[in-house]
Structure 1
């Protein structure tokens, strides 16, 4: 489980201007992130625009990413959805070569009860040959995985090893940290609150802004994990404006603007997402130049 301490990056999927996957851009990004000192990568999480990729594109991206990483860092595959049977089929058929875990977001739109969420993750856990990381992001799914459900899953399934928690609800985070089994990982899923979450016992972050600023993000997280919060505080504050700008017109459009400025890949996103406005792009470019 120490594989998932530190900074993970929910990597974007670069596209050419015509919307096709840009594998040269993806190669550039992978090498840039590894050179930036991050601990692991998440391929095709929601930041990777997985909702707009078909099954063949996903298989190709997963295989390409594993081939480019070549074991240099740990690797997680994002496999989720709101059709449990379909998710279970994808998990069972997944080629695990080069991968260390699966990250699966709670179902969006359906708004299942807590029992429905439990049964959804039970089915995934029972069909996965890899460890499973839960992902709670109520702002996108419109349903919350409660602290009680998280703890129940953590206790009932040894291969459910942690949660990417992006509720922003510190009362809930406190309950999970107090009641979780020993070794169950709390991972921040929200860049702006990684600092205080680590102070409560989280083991790191799965970051969006780290796509553009891997060194700054991972350095700050490592300082936090070493209990050097005073030194980490400056890095945390330095990232505030850039983080806000990356999300103000939606993710991953903002961070892709920064990646284009850095010469890593283009800023194309697939509909229904669109590129950020010229004004916001200008603000992001000004902020990235400070680093």
Structure 2
């Protein structure tokens, strides 16, 4: 899965003032991010997948396929906490032109490690394209342990994990014992350089929506073992990164994109657009 090395951008979903999909903004976003990213991640958490309908998800994926001028690989988000529903969703989705699906660990239910294993095994058994695991305990309230990841890595159709646990020791354990062809991908923008120093192959990034060229320098340098240059690129993001999550993702990065003239900063309830205080802080850094 060479396509998954480097920078993947977890694309935001631009909205109009009436909260319909802003396809003009989405087109601008594709063109903007193509300046530096290696692949698109469509309808992940950053794309507000929790509040887009099934019909909208299909329309967004179709639009990106048709307007992918840079011919970048596409990863599509299909996950949830109802295993049977996820399986049906996979079967009913047109995955032609999609190189892999990104599937988040079940949230809210807080399943056991065996439950997590069986959930992903069933997904991998039915998916017509490779599966990327997504571990983000801060959102799901449960962690995919290193041992469970390594068990799942033995499945021929599970090719990678987006690790956003923030636990570098856990990430090291995965890198140490994973099969050679299993990919560790950073799910935390600021931890990308250290993770790549011990075996990660890149990042699926929020900030790459706004700063694709910075991430190009960051990941390309790390892949070339130039960790000093990679660190310098990371340092450019260290102050603005926490503001992206101060009022929940993607509120912060959507405001940056509006400042840059890429798309508007509308989000769907229960999220709200950036407060005046957050806007002021972001503007000062930009």
Match of 2:172 among 171, 174, 184: 174
Q: Secondary structure at the match of 2:191?
A: helix
1:8-27 correspondence to structure 2 within 5 Å: 8-27=8-27
- Distance in 2, matches of 1:14 and 1:53, equals 11
- State the match for 2:30 in structure 1: 30
- Distance in 2, matches of 1:115 and 1:247, equals 31
1:61-80 correspondence to structure 2 within 5 Å: 61-70=60-69, 72-80=71-79
CA contact (8 A) 1:220 1:235 kept: yes
- State the match for 2:203 in structure 1: 205
Q: Deviations over 1:225-284 (max 9, x none)?
A: 111111222211111011121112211000000000000000000011111211111221
Supply the RMSD in Å over aligned alpha carbons.
1.0
Q: Secondary structure at the match of 1:122?
A: helix
1:165-244 correspondence to structure 2 within 5 Å: 165-244=163-242
1:1-12 correspondence to structure 2 within 5 Å: 1-12=1-12
- State the match for 1:97 in structure 2: 96
TM normalised by structure 2 equals 0.98
- Distance in 2, matches of 1:108 and 1:267, equals 27
Match of 1:264 among 250, 262, 268: 262
- Distance in 2, matches of 1:263 and 1:5, equals 29
Q: Secondary structure at the match of 1:88?
A: helix
Structure 2 gap ranges (5+): none
Deviation at 1:70, TM superposition (A): 5.0
- Distance in 2, matches of 1:232 and 1:185, equals 19
- Distance in 1, matches of 2:8 and 2:249, equals 17
- Distance in 2, matches of 1:70 and 1:31, equals 8
**Larger mean Cα displacement after TM superposition, 181-190 or 66-75:** 66-75
Q: Secondary structure at the match of 2:239?
A: helix
- Distance in 2, matches of 1:179 and 1:150, equals 10
Structure 1 gap ranges (5+): none
Q: Deviations over 1:192-251 (max 9, x none)?
A: 111100011100000000100001112111111111111222211111011121112211
Q: Deviations over 1:28-87 (max 9, x none)?
A: 1011111x2210010000110001011111111111111111561111000111111010
- Distance in 2, matches of 1:231 and 1:213, equals 16
- Distance in 1, matches of 2:13 and 2:186, equals 21
Q: Deviations over 1:147-181 (max 9, x none)?
A: 011000111x1110000000011121111111111
Deviation at 1:286, TM superposition (A): 2.5
Deviation at 1:97, TM superposition (A): 2.2
Q: Secondary structure at the match of 1:224?
A: helix
Q: Secondary structure at the match of 1:143?
A: coil
- Distance in 2, matches of 1:193 and 1:229, equals 12
CA contact (8 A) 2:36 2:215 kept: no
